[in-house]
Amino acid sequence: MKYARDLAPALTNEQLGEQLYETLPWVKSITGKTVVIKYGGAAMVDADLREKVMGDILLLKIIGARVVIVHGGGAAINEALGHYDLPVEFKGGQRVTTPEAMEIVREVLVGKVNQELVAALNKHGAVAVGVSGSDGGTILAEQLDPELGRVGKVCQVNTDYLETLLENDYIPVVATVAQGTDGGFFNINADLAAGHIAAAIHAHKAIFLTDVDGLYADFADKTSLISNLTLDETEGLLRAGEVSKGMIPKLEACVTALKGGVYRAHIINGTTPHSLLVELFTSTGVGTVMHSTLESYEFDQHPHPVGAFASRLVETEEW
Ligand SMILES: Nc1ncnc2c1ncn2[C@@H]1O[C@H](COP(=O)(O)OP(=O)(O)O)[C@@H](O)[C@H]1O
Ligand SMILES: CC(=O)N[C@@H](CCC(=O)OP(=O)(O)O)C(=O)O
């Protein structure tokens, strides 16, 4: 037997209740909306954390969000290439992918990472379905640059199969190996694929879970975490070469998503337990959020009384 008094809660029941109640408008803002979550390989390495992320995603689904997961697996691909003594090389945040490496990319992304994520979700019930870019012609790509080998540029996203799965209450889990216009397969950076999918499926939000707290104005200066920025500012940072490595495709993906009509793009730390819930269900959030204009951002930033929020929901119904 355990006495409640010995559990020493950090908050009083009233404070806890207040906090839960404050999430209500944010929960309402997600219900019925499509949310594309890019789950990066860098945030996937710890199995316990991965379970927590899957739990948070299930919670989003239970409250009525239409969730699409697009996953990476860069770290696992590096490991597999090392195992076969194949080189690991990136240019502008994209992997140089020889035909040999492409075979490994397929094995790792489609055969391993995708199945593991689907299995982790399906422990809780038959909710997830693995989708590779070529399934249902979901992602069609052509060669991006001969120097990068089998790296693809997305030319078309066909959302029919994803929509069918969402309508039937499944969570599609997408591995970003695309069908090539030349009949082969292409390796698509998972951030870029997520940006294109979010735009094509008219997502309300695109959320990028990675291994840093968000976008830093200066990565070396940990006090420079950016809380929010506009589309123009994001493009400005890219043009000025202010970001490097994996952050380049991530920001490019945010730009693609926002230009394609996605309401918000978020970059958050997937290695911090429940960052997804804090980002989505609190006024302050934890990571970096990108939005089309400052006006549209400020509109969202004060806690909305439930009644007032309901009228906003009507205004944004199409999303
Ligand atoms: N300005 C920046 N702010 C944040 N991260 C940055 C920045 N510039 C480069 N990075 C790097 O981008 C990495 C995230 O991209 P990546 O390694 O591709 O992760 P993922 O596997 O989640 O896509 C960070 O770990 C960090 O090293
Ligand atoms: C072309 C290209 O770079 N493809 C990526 C695909 C996986 C990925 O994007 O994984 P993360 O999200 O974990 O970085 C790669 O081969 O690593």
Pocket test for ligand 1, best of 245, 248, 250, 268 (most atoms within 8 A of CB): 245
| Average pLDDT rounded to a whole number, residues 28-48 | 90
Q: What is the pLDDT of residues 269-296, one digit of tens each?
A: 999 999 999 999 988 788 999 998 766 6
Quote the pLDDT of residue 5: 58
CATH superfamily of 33-316: Acetylglutamate kinase-like (3.40.1160.10)
> Is the CB of 41 within 6 Å of ligand 1?
yes
Q: What is the pLDDT of residues 188-207, one digit of tens each?
A: 999 999 999 999 999 999 99
Q: Which residues pair with 228 in a beta bridge?
A: 289
Supply 281's token pair: 């269900």
Query: Which of 119-128, 153-162, 173-182 has the weakest average pLDDT?
Result: 119-128
Supply 35's token pair: 């949310």
Q: Whose CA is nearest to atom 6 of ligand 2?
A: 189
Nearest listed ligand to the Cα of residue 229: 1
| Average pLDDT rounded to a whole number, residues 133-142 | 97
CA–CA gap between residue 25 and residue 151 (Å, rounded): 42
- pLDDT exceeds 90 at position 3: no
pLDDT band at 160 (very low <50, low <70, confident <90, very high): very high
Domain ranges of the chain: 33-316
pTM comes to 0.91
DSSP letter string, 64-102 = T-EEEEEE--HHHHHHHHHHTT----EETTEE-B-HHHH
Q: Checking DSSP bridges between strand 139-143 and strand 152-157, what pairing results, if any?
A: antiparallel
Residues whose CB falls within 8 Å of the CB of residue 200, separated by 6 or more in sequence, listed in order: 157, 158, 159, 260
ipTM value = 0.97
Comparing CA positions, the residue from 157, 158, 42, 37 lying closest to residue 93 is: 42
Q: What is the pLDDT of residues 215-247, one digit of tens each?
A: 998 899 999 999 999 999 999 999 988 888 889
Q: Which residues pair with 200 in a beta bridge?
A: none
Query: Which of 53-62, 211-220, 297-306 has the weakest average pLDDT?
Result: 297-306
**Residue whose pair of structure tokens reads 């549209």 in the numeric block:** 296
* ∠ CA 110-60-224, rounded to 5°: 85
> Is the CB of 74 within 6 Å of ligand 1?
yes
Say how many residues make up the chain: 319
Q: Does the annotation list 168 as a binding residue?
A: no
> Is the CB of 180 within 6 Å of ligand 2?
no
pLDDT band at 64 (very low <50, low <70, confident <90, very high): very high
- pLDDT exceeds 70 at position 311: no
> Is the CB of 265 within 6 Å of ligand 1?
no
Q: How far is CA 274 from CA 21, 222, 266, in A?
A: 18, 21, 14
Q: What is the DSSP letter of 230?
A: E
| Average pLDDT rounded to a whole number, residues 81-108 | 96
More confident residue, 295 or 57: 57
Q: Lay out the sheet containing 177-180: strands in order across.
A: 152-157, 139-143, 177-180, 185-187
Burial class of 319 by CB neighbour count within 10 A (0 to 12, 13 to 18, 19+): middle
